[in-house]
Amino acid sequence: MAGEKIAVLGGTGGLGGGLAMRFADAGYHVIVGSRAEEKAVNSAAELHAAKPARRVEGHANPTAAKLADIVILTVPFENQRATLESVLEASAGKIIIDATVCLKPPKVGTVQIPAEGSAGMIAQAIVGTRARLVSAFQNVAADVLQSDEEIDCDVLVTGNDKEACKTVVELIGAIGARGYYAGPIENSVATEGLTSLLIQINRQFKCHAGIRITGTEGH
Per-residue pLDDT, 219: 76
pTM over 0.85: yes
In tens, the pLDDT along 16-33 reads 999 999 999 999 999 999
CA distance 157 to 165: 7
Contacts of 41 (CB under 8 A, 6+ apart): 57, 58, 59
Give the chain's domains with CATH numbers. 5-205 (3.40.50.720)
Per-residue pLDDT, 1: 62
Contacts of 154 (CB under 8 A, 6+ apart): 177, 178, 179, 180, 210, 211, 212, 213
DSSP tag of 158: B
